[in-house]
Amino acid sequence: MARQAKKLRHEQLRHLIEHSPFVTDEELATRFGVSIQTIRLDRMEMGIPELRERTRQVAQEAHTNPKAIASQDMVGEILDLELGKTGISTLVVTPQMVFEKTHLARGHHIFAQANSLALAVMDAPAAVTGVANIKFKAPVREGERLVAKAEIVRTRGNKNFIWVKIRSGAHEVFRAKFIMVTLEG
């Protein structure tokens, strides 16, 4: 009887963690009416990592590798990427990215963040920028953290229409409409 209960708990535990990887051992213990130590032993027996490791694994999976651009060629850090749909990246404006006199960001760094994110969301082995309609909406200063969001809004043949908006805090500082063209591999 106890063996069957344990087997059932293991099945339910595996299912629950697969669907909610951020659930804590404490929450699981409460849900199953057992001690935290029992949950830890169950996880170890089943080869399920602790919460910190599961969080790291989910973050790595969210960092789905871009296909059309190498990760080291990205300007900014990808936070979220759903190939063929959307992506989010961040970029902190460093002293090397600003004009010495005004400490305002050089526009090509902001454009590069947007352009590389647009390439990253492409679900294609190779792509290039066909058209870029850009608008700088506000100056960006040294030390600001820029958050870029890209979304493929339409696909027609080998062309993807991608909107990228970059914010610094609550303010939109840049927007672009790209036509990215997929290349035959």
Domain ranges in the chain with CATH number 1.10.10.10: 2-61
The whole-number pLDDT of residue 184 equals 75
63-182 CATH:
3.10.129.10
pLDDT digits (tens, 9 = 90+) for 78-126: 988 999 999 999 999 999 999 999 999 999 999 999 999 999 999 888 9
- pLDDT-derived band at 185 (thresholds 50, 70, 90) equals low
Q: Check residue 57 and give left, alpha or beta (phi > 0: left; psi -120 to 50: alpha).
A: alpha
Domain ranges in the chain with CATH number 3.10.129.10: 63-182
pLDDT digits (tens, 9 = 90+) for 76-88: 999 889 999 999 9
Which burial class, exposed, middle or buried, applies to 119 when counting CB atoms under 10 A from its CB (0-12, 13-18, 19+)?
Answer: buried
Say if residues 181 and 130 touch (Cβ distance below 8 Å).
Answer: yes
Global model pTM greater than 0.85: no
- Residue 8 DSSP SS3: helix
Q: Provide the CATH topology of domain 2-61.
A: Arc Repressor Mutant, subunit A (1.10.10)
